[in-house]
Structure 1
Amino acid sequence: MVIINGEFVELETPSGPMRTHIVRPAAPGRYPAILFYSEIFQITAPIRRTAAMLAGHGYIVAMPEVYHEYEPAGSILAYDQAGSDRGNFLKTHKPVAAYDADTRAMIDHLVARPDCTGKIGAMGICMGGHLAFRAAFNPEIAGTVCFYATDIHTGTLGEGKHDDSFARAAEIKGELFMAWGRQDPHVSTEGRMKLLARLNELNTLLNWHEVNGAHAFLRDEGVRYDPEHAHAMMSLTYDFFHRKLGQGDLPV
């Protein structure tokens, strides 16, 4: 399926305009949509490639520039120490309410699009996994995929390093798919088990996957990339979204 790249929409949020990158199948028709949240580095080449693969399976994929309040539109942070430092600073500088407002703006945009079926899911990687987890608090989100989501068990996302994601997990009504690397230093075994116990306590609709991989095993750039685990988990991701969101390429 051919993919159209390079479409942007500027969404209004309470903290200013947010550039949102859209990729979708070229064939005319209506498609389900996925909110796709990046790592702390914003819309890098690996993020774009992953989004293109998702779109190629029949989805409108919307990627927000999560630091739109602080970086010029189109900014990408490098996969180096300076980029990591900047991304981690902004991660705990931006208010949690602003992250949530960004998500609301994207949901409202997607459900209003004439090329969208109205079925919406969410997916995120690293910090984006945490943002996808929070997106699942919205009733429109039918299914959510989180790859090695950081800071949920510690409650340290956002301004003041204080969030309520762990407590608000009870608001998730859709289904979760959570994938982890067992050798990830950012999310310890104790942290994963704390979150798993919470989700089990709530009887959350849950798919829980752990692989022997490092943090960023999905990113097809850098020494931590594990193609075998990435392929296996993405195959399960496609199946999950197809089941939760339905088939695209429907007549307008």
Structure 2
Amino acid sequence: MTGSTITIGANDGGSFSAYVARPAGAAPAPAIVVIQEIFGVNQVMRDICDWLAGEGYIAVCPDLFWRIEPGIDITDKSKAEWDKAFSLFSAFDRAHGIADIETTRAVAATLPGCTGKVGAVGYCLGGHMAYRTAAQTVIDASVGYYGVGINDALDVAGGISKPLMLHVAEKDAFVPPEAQAKVAAALGANPLVTLHNYAGQDHAFAREGGEHYDAAAAKLANSRTLDFFKTHLA
């Protein structure tokens, strides 16, 4: 499947690119905003968009690092790339990121063939931003994979008004047990929030080709994600 690139105007001026993958056929489809990891809109993110398009969704992955450096497309295969990724993570402004995600959501809702329903799914940094998206935008449903730093952003949890699912890696090196416990205590009783814990799994267990990729855990998480979107974006 071949995707395309669109340009989206930011709400405070400037513009950023987004990768778009569309399902086959002409039937109306919901959209999903795919929120990047710290490696930019790379092949992993484009493959996720293509996978979602194959499942019947219009998938849109915006370049959230454009304010720092547009067009980041790196991997997790070298120290230099990891150093670059962590520098981008440190420089990233989450308030600007949420604004750009909400702008992307609004654009996605009006793309030709979209039903108007829009979900979000994010990974790593994107998992954190998927949580914020549920709390700080009008997204219809949101899913976060191994989000980093959610425990430090629980002050916005009261804004969650639509369904949120979080996939939590029990052995996540970037999210220690006390951070996971804090998130569970704050969100576990919220009927809009579903928490799934993956025993023995480390960060990025669903990143194909990654050091901690686990096919069985990834398959389970992805099936739960698809069921979640099927329910809430119908």
Q: TM-score range by the shorter chain?
A: over 0.9
CA contact (8 A) 2:22 2:53 kept: yes
Q: How big is each residue's C-alpha offset from its partner over 1:173-203, in whole Å with a ceiling of 9 and x where there is no partner?
A: 11111111111110111111101111135x2
Distance in 2 (CA, whole Å) between partners of 1:175 and 1:44 is: 27
CA contact (8 A) 1:30 1:115 kept: yes
CA contact (8 A) 2:5 2:19 kept: yes
Q: Which residue of structure 1 aligns with residue 109 of structure 2?
A: 111
Q: How does 1:90-239 map to 2 (within 5 A)?
A: 90-138=88-136, 140-153=138-151, 155=152, 165-200=153-188, 203-211=190-198, 212-239=200-227
CA contact (8 A) 1:15 1:69 kept: no
Q: Which residue of structure 2 aligns with residue 38 of structure 1?
A: 36
Distance in 2 (CA, whole Å) between partners of 1:46 and 1:200 is: 30
Q: Which residue of structure 2 aligns with residue 162 of structure 1?
A: none
Aligned residues: 231
Q: TM-score, normalised by structure 1?
A: 0.86
Q: Does 1:7 align with 2:4?
A: yes
CA contact (8 A) 2:8 2:17 kept: yes
CA contact (8 A) 1:166 1:195 kept: yes
Q: Which runs of 5+ in 1 are unaligned?
A: 156-164, 247-252
Q: Which runs of 5+ in 2 are unaligned?
A: none
Q: Which residue of structure 2 aligns with residue 88 of structure 1?
A: 86
Distance in 1 (CA, whole Å) between partners of 2:207 and 2:43 is: 10
The Cα shift of 1:122 comes to 0.8
The Cα shift of 1:204 comes to 4.2
SS of the aligned residue for 2:83 comes to helix
Percent sequence identity is 31
- Structure 1 residues 15 and 215: alpha-carbon distance in aligned structure 2, compared to 1, 3 A threshold: farther
Distance in 2 (CA, whole Å) between partners of 1:228 and 1:121 is: 24
Q: How does 1:47-62 map to 2 (within 5 A)?
A: 47-62=45-60
SS of the aligned residue for 1:194 comes to helix
Distance in 1 (CA, whole Å) between partners of 2:221 and 2:188 is: 22
Q: TM-score, normalised by structure 2?
A: 0.93
Which residue identity does 2:112 align to in structure 1? P
CA contact (8 A) 2:16 2:70 kept: no
CA contact (8 A) 1:33 1:61 kept: yes
Which residue identity does 1:7 align to in structure 2? S
SS of the aligned residue for 1:136 comes to helix
Greater relative contact order (Cα < 8 A, sep 6+): 1
The Cα shift of 1:101 comes to 1.5
CA contact (8 A) 2:124 2:148 kept: yes
Misfit runs of 4+, over 6 Å: none
